[in-house]
Structure 1
Amino acid sequence: MWRSLASNMLTVLLVGLFLVAGVVLWGQSQYRAEGPLDSAMCLRVESGSNMTRVSNDLAEQGAVTNARIFRIGADYQDKAGDLKAGSFLVREGATMEQIVDQITKGGASTCGTEIVYRIGVTRNQMEIRELDPQSLQFVELAEFEPGADAAPEIYGEKRDQSDTRYRIAMAEGVTTWQVAEVLKGWDVLSGEVGELPGEGMLAPDSYEVIPGTEVAAVLQEMQDKQVLRINAVWESRQDGLPLASPEEMLILASIIEKETGLPEERGQVASVFVNRLNQGMKLQTDPTVIYGITKGQRVLGRGLRRSELRRLTPWNTYLIDGLPPSPIANPGLASLEAAVAPDETGFIFFVADGTGGHAFAETLQEHNRNVAKWREIEAQQQAN
């Protein structure tokens, strides 16, 4: 009798174990299976939240099939206590395991609100935008010009959100002084500028920052990136260029940057200056004269006067031979590349053509015709 009872109990125990194992395997398969989300969503995890609140939120939004399995899986992976505040892009069909990994590994938010400070050549803009999870495109919420416009109410609202991201977008052709002035005036950052990096030594690009980042650290990141670009581009230079060093390449690239905003023209503009240097001709480029007047600390905002073209400064390339002593702005990667790989042309002249581009010429006679056309366009524009 006892032997029969023991046998029955063992059978029940084994069945129970098999059932438990089955439930565990089923739970694991649910945890790792493709999720029910049919379109991407932005999951916001508030500071001080917990895994129960997050799992219920996910279940309500149709991102997980079972909030309990989500929590058990997070516990089993020993990640329940690693929940991070922020906004996280949850992709279509994301598994519970993938979502747990996203919200516990830390790092920057991957969706939600972003405030971008755009540093431009003639004006700066603050843009408040939000990532649309479906299109993965940013939707602009508001923009304003710091120092000129009153900040919209939404700016203060988004500044108060802990998961708002911040970015600095530096345009090609801005000066180092312009960048430093923006950074030291933005209350998201802290600290002093310190020693100003040399002109041309900041890489135009987009930089994500977190509140409280030191201004000097941002400038150093920009400088480090530009050094890497300069070294890489210099190593790829063509043979026979009239450039003796990476420093001269940087100067030429900055002039190219200021002379044209059209990507397809950079190689041609570079060829003009390289041809002039090879022939011992003066560069005769207005942006260098302007830099001699402003030192990059303001926008001239008008045409050059004859007296300014005749005034001797180290940057007046109508009067000095060769390259000026320093860059005149921070060139982007494309202008650096154009400086060491110019188009093969016979051009030694160019002038605006009225379309936003330039007319290039090999001879003075041809150039004079192009200048006459431009004067006619100028006169027509002024008349209109």
Structure 2
Amino acid sequence: MRKILSLLAAALVLTGAAVAFVAWQAQQRFVSPGPLPEERAVIVPRGSGVDGIARLLEEQGVIEDALLFKIGVKLTGEAGRLRAGEFAFPAHVSPRGAMQILTEGQTVVHRLTVPEGLTVRQVIELLRQNEALSGEISSEIPEGSLLPETYHFTRGDSRESVIQRMRDAMTRTLDELWESRQPDLPLRSKEEAVILASVVERETSIAAERPRVAGVFINRLRRGMPLQSDPTVIYGMSEGLGVIDRPLTRRDLTVHHEWNTYTIPALPATPIANPGRASLQAVLNPAKTRDLFFVADGTGGHAFAETLEQHNRNVARWRRIQRGEQ
């Protein structure tokens, strides 16, 4: 009997040692580098649970053993904290590291850059083409109400929420710049400032020119002169798209509509695009100049003039450049 008891005791010791060794091995594997060769983004659907997440990570090559991951997560008491979303797992992340990424909610941050001068229709199309966003845009969005800049979001955020952030950003920016505007501008409201800024935005992409272009339009408004801006005509012709598939003609400039600043001696009816901060700043603090005209100079910028005679010479020079004569 003593011999049998000794054998049983020895067996229990060996079994315990074996269990302890297996547990130690599992613990080591849980914290050891995994098989992922390079960073990978993985989308974890809502309601996946520990089992579903473990299978998904194994399928995506983030971890080697789904069962080991499940055991490790449950033993650490973190099973209820695993989150859904899009996560970036670094190369050779350990199962424990993967668990921490999922519990800490380190979701992938996406960037959406909205260039200055896009129309509302163009911005909406930009959002619709972004597959990381969700839902449709149902609200009415006035032209010029969206601030162009880079916005960050996580996968699954709604397009409507991003649009609202753009509108809020425009409101804050306009409120701030309006308070520091030059006195005695011929602009009666923030809305008029946005209208003129949108025209400046579409007339030049050169930052240094914007205050001077704004100064030309301010001078014209003060004198009751038409702005004579081609982009306003294009906006009216394109039903708010802001582009057409052919050059403007002389006849286009004579067709009266509420955006044709060749036929109306005032601002167009609405903004013609979404202006950026720099164009808003330029309109509210324009260059102090006597210029009344500008035309392309062939270098990407513009030649400015105070008189019609000077302007005609600049136009003639531009025509020669277009013909390849200089």
State the TM-score, normalizing by the size of structure 1: 0.60
Relative contact order, CA 8 A, sep 6+: which one is greater? Answer: 2
- State the alpha-carbon separation in 2 of the partners of residues 312 and 304 from structure 1: 14
Q: 1:50 to 1:345 in 2, by over 3 A?
A: same
Counterparts of 1:83-162 in structure 2 under 5 Å? Answer: 83-84=82-83, 103-109=102-108
Gaps of at least 5 residues in structure 1 are: 1-39, 61-70, 92-96, 111-164
Q: When you count strand as a share of all residues, which structure comes out higher?
A: 1
Q: What is aligned with 2:320?
A: 376
- Code of the residue aligned with 2:180 in structure 1: it is S
**Which whole-Å deviations, capped at 9, do the CAs of 1:32-62 have from their partners, x for residues lacking one?**
xxxxxxxx977879777889x99xx9999xx
> Is the counterpart of residue 223 in structure 1 residue 167 in structure 2?
yes
> Is the counterpart of residue 204 in structure 1 residue 148 in structure 2?
yes
Instruction: Please report how far the alpha carbon of residue 181 of structure 1 lies from its aligned counterpart in structure 2 after TM superposition.
Output: 4.2
Instruction: Please report how far the alpha carbon of residue 170 of structure 1 lies from its aligned counterpart in structure 2 after TM superposition.
Output: 2.1
Q: 1:219 to 1:100 in 2, by over 3 A?
A: same
Q: What is aligned with 2:113?
A: 169
> Is the counterpart of residue 281 in structure 1 residue 225 in structure 2?
yes
- State the alpha-carbon separation in 1 of the partners of residues 75 and 173 from structure 2: 46
What's the secondary structure of 1:359's corresponding residue? strand
- State the alpha-carbon separation in 1 of the partners of residues 129 and 82 from structure 2: 34
Q: What is aligned with 2:195?
A: 251
- State the alpha-carbon separation in 2 of the partners of residues 300 and 58 from structure 1: 49
Q: 1:329 to 1:42 in 2, by over 3 A?
A: same
Q: When you count helix as a share of all residues, which structure comes out higher?
A: 2
- State the alpha-carbon separation in 2 of the partners of residues 379 and 248 from structure 1: 38
| Mapped contact 1:173–1:332 kept (Cα < 8 A) | yes
- State the alpha-carbon separation in 1 of the partners of residues 122 and 138 from structure 2: 12
- Code of the residue aligned with 1:291 in structure 2: it is Y
Q: Work out which of the two has the higher radius of gyration on C-alpha atoms and give 1 or 2.
A: 2
What's the secondary structure of 1:240's corresponding residue? coil
What's the secondary structure of 1:360's corresponding residue? strand
**Which whole-Å deviations, capped at 9, do the CAs of 1:239-283 have from their partners, x for residues lacking one?**
221111000000010000100011121111111111211222221
Match for residue 193 of structure 1 among 138, 149, 155 = 138
Percent of residue pairs identical: 43
- State the alpha-carbon separation in 1 of the partners of residues 218 and 283 from structure 2: 8
Instruction: Please report how far the alpha carbon of residue 322 of structure 1 lies from its aligned counterpart in structure 2 after TM superposition.
Output: 1.9
Instruction: Compare 252-261 and 312-321 and name the one that shifted more.
Output: 312-321
- State the alpha-carbon separation in 2 of the partners of residues 279 and 219 from structure 1: 38
- State the alpha-carbon separation in 2 of the partners of residues 337 and 98 from structure 1: 47
- State the alpha-carbon separation in 2 of the partners of residues 345 and 277 from structure 1: 13
Q: Could you say what the CA RMSD is over the residues aligned between the two structures, in angstroms?
A: 4.3
Instruction: Please report how far the alpha carbon of residue 82 of structure 1 lies from its aligned counterpart in structure 2 after TM superposition.
Output: 2.8
State the TM-score, normalizing by the size of structure 2: 0.69
**Which whole-Å deviations, capped at 9, do the CAs of 1:301-345 have from their partners, x for residues lacking one?**
222111111111111111211211210111111111111111222
- Code of the residue aligned with 1:332 in structure 2: it is G
| Mapped contact 1:175–1:328 kept (Cα < 8 A) | yes
